[in-house]
Structure 1
Amino acid sequence: MREKREVSAGGIVYRRNHDSVEVALIRSRRRWGLPKGHLEPGETVQQAACREVFEETGLRGEVVDKLGEITYRFMNKWTEGKPVRVFKRVHFYLIRWTEGDVDGHDYEVDEARWFAIETALETLSYATEKKMMRRAQAYIEAELNKASERRTALNLPG
């Protein structure tokens, strides 16, 4: 059986919404997931993550950190009458929203929507993407705790 390796990149976009944090998910073919896609020629994985996030969600942001990678395999294309086993590695980044609207997503997805992180964890269709979301949640919570401690130390209002 023929084998093929693919590299993709994606991101978890988040924003503060009053006292909560929201993340953007996409729906495609009745499954909710994270925006991701293939690298274009000459593109870094981080550049691809930002481009794919924009294309699939309509959102732009600032990369905060790399969350990690997931790998999986699947049967995909048929070449010369034979199936191809694809080994895929997806690099994920945490991205702080700066501009854009989820209504600006492209034709590749059916819907893009903001969710509270806990709701996103329940909504995501794939266990590996839930793992990335938990990493993002831990990172964001740690950053919020640091900011709260700084405000407390300086006697600033929350």
Structure 2
Amino acid sequence: MGGIVSNNPGSELEEVTHEVSCGGVVFRDGTVLMLRRRTGEWVFPKGHVEPGERLVQTACREVQEEAGVAATALQYLGVTEYRAGPNVRKTVHWFLMRTEAQRLKPEGIFQEGRFVPARAALQALTYANDRLTLLRALRAQSR
């Protein structure tokens, strides 16, 4: 999905791409799943919606692909948005999830995966949007 945008009157118009992804905040026994990219960022599993897929299906598939665990979606947590460069706008739909898996098998783009206490996750997560999403997930769990 794209649109045309210009912040400078009289300049050339630039194509802006809108990408939609889904991800999961996955809990197991009071801990939360985190992945560390080879570039060092700590993140939650997420990825692009495939044609014909529902949002919840995408979230479950991405957790399986990126972390190597099956997870059950419990609740929709909402959306985060950010810019990935000047011409890409990303929207991520997040789900609260649970797994019983004991072992992670992170995909090759990740250096490692861990289940960590929520407080440690809040400190380790690289991006503010992920920290806000974790806070939403913790509030949802306490209801």
Common fold, TM-score beyond 0.5?
Answer: yes
Query: Secondary structure of the residue that 2:89 maps to in structure 1?
Result: strand
Q: Which residue of 2 aligns with 1:32?
A: 42
Q: Gaps spanning 5+ residues in structure 2: where? A: 1-13
Instruction: Indicate the structure with greater strand content.
Output: 1
Instruction: Indicate the structure with greater helix content.
Output: 1
Letter paired with 1:117:
A
Equivalent pair of 1:57/1:101 in contact (CA under 8 Å) = no
Q: Which residue of 2 aligns with 1:42?
A: 52
Q: Which residue of 1 aligns with 2:111?
A: 110
Q: What is the Cα-based RMSD across aligned positions, in Å?
A: 1.3
Alpha-carbon offset, residue 100 of structure 1: 5.5
Deviation string for 1:11-41 (max 9, x for gaps)? 011011xxxx100001111010111011122
Q: Which residue of 2 aligns with 1:149?
A: none
Letter paired with 2:28:
R
Does the C-alpha gap of structure 1 residues 39 and 100 become closer, same or farther in structure 2, counting only changes over 3 Å? farther
Letter paired with 2:127:
Y
Matched, 1:12 2:6: no
**TM-score, reference length from structure 1:** 0.77
Pairing 1:1-158 to 2, within 5 Å after superposition: 1-16=14-29, 21-28=30-37, 29-75=39-85, 85-99=87-101, 101-102=103-104, 104-142=105-143
Structure whose alpha-carbon radius of gyration is higher: 1
- For 1:5 and 1:128, how far apart are their aligned partners in 2? 18
- For 1:89 and 1:64, how far apart are their aligned partners in 2? 20
Q: Gaps spanning 5+ residues in structure 1: where? A: 76-83, 143-158
- For 1:47 and 1:125, how far apart are their aligned partners in 2? 26
- For 1:106 and 1:50, how far apart are their aligned partners in 2? 15
Equivalent pair of 2:83/2:90 in contact (CA under 8 Å) = yes
